[in-house]
Amino acid sequence: MASERDCFKLSGPLHLTYIDWNNAHHRKSVAACLIKGVYVLENDRQARREGPKALALPWWAFFHFQLYMILVDDVDSSIFGAIYEFKPPPSMCNHALHRCPRYVIAFRGTIPKADSVSRDIELDIQFIRNGLHQTSRFEIASQAVRNMVAAVGGSNIWLAGHSLGSAIALLAGKTMAKTGIFIESFLFNPPYFSAPIERIKDNKLKHGLRFAGSVVTAGLAIAMKVKQQKSLSFDPFAALSAWVPSLFVNPSDPICSEYVGYFEHRRKMEEIGAGSIEKLATQNSIACLLMRGFGKECEPLHLIPSASLTVNLSKSRDFKDAHGIQQWWKPDLHLESKVHKY
């Protein structure tokens, strides 16, 4: 039942009785739980669970956070985000709070329920069309991020999101990074719209398809007179490279698995001396190039120069398990992490 999944006592990380903010697994788990809190806030709203019947509170209170603000979509009135304020008890030592945030801005993904699913799917489609930045939900999210940065500074904030919510957090983080403000970000199962090349088992075939794709993309970019980076006095893609968001992907999840190949292919292209081709291909998508050819502005929302990529290699039962937020706070995960710098 949905209430069982929403209940912290039944599905939350009760093993985390003490949070070490220097521990990457602990930080990841807390960020994931705060996102889960947004899901449960919306589920509480739809199920009309109020007061003692509401299930959302433990998802942040367990880690000494308070609900500072909720973010509501202007179209369907659903709760899609929340801002949490960290309020540690006086007994916590200052040295134990190193690397902890003062505020966390978290965004949920799609909820397949009648009161929210049509709006969520509409935004999923906007992401595929590279139009998420033009939606009112993103504008509400972006304004909330700007307001918090202005009030407390970017270094005191975390961004966190899952699925569609991670796309919103990624886009908000990119927007701030372009102004020189780099916000620590936790992006779980971030969508990467592409052919599912990562699912191919034959590594040679997989690399060959990616190589061909890079050549086509770079060639199309040049043909459509997209300026090459070395001829620019300012390269906006390279300017983002100092921002290193944390991406958490599962290779069994086709929604996010292409990020694995995106960064690995870039490394291989450098190794074979084709770095100049990949340098142009890595910041363009064929869909956006074609849209620009028709005079429409388009920026591939999912492409980023740098990231700390964590891959969950633990066996997943099904798509729901591979895409779910709950996997990221489980103990004893088989994780592989690597920092990719542009």
* Alpha helix ranges (H) inside 236-297: 236-239, 258-271, 275-281, 286-293
Q: How far apart are CA 39 and CA 273, in angstroms?
A: 46
pLDDT for the residue 239 = 79
pLDDT band at 232 (very low <50, low <70, confident <90, very high): very low
Architecture of domain 2-197+236-272+304-340: 3-Layer(aba) Sandwich (3.40)
Listed by start position, the domains of the chain span 2-197+236-272+304-340
Tell me the per-residue pLDDT of 168-200, one tens digit each, with 9 for 90 and over.
999 999 999 999 999 999 999 999 976 666 666
Q: Is the pLDDT of residue 291 over 80?
A: no
pTM for the full predicted model: 0.87
Q: How far apart are CA 192 and CA 170, in angstroms?
A: 12
Do the strands 246-249 and 307-312 form a parallel or antiparallel pair, or are they unpaired?
A: parallel
* Alpha-carbon dihedral sign for residues 266, 236, 132, 145: positive
Burial (CB count <10 Å: 0-12, 13-18, 19+), residue 320: exposed
Model confidence at 264, pLDDT cuts 50, 70, 90, reads: confident
**pLDDT confidence tier of residue 278, bands split at 50, 70 and 90:** low
Q: Which of 104, 143, 137 is nearest to 123 (CA)?
A: 137
Strand partners, 184: 158
Calpha distance 326→11 (Å, rounded): 8
Distance between CA atoms of residues 86 and 64, nearest Å: 6
- What number of H helices and E strands is found in the chain? 13, 8
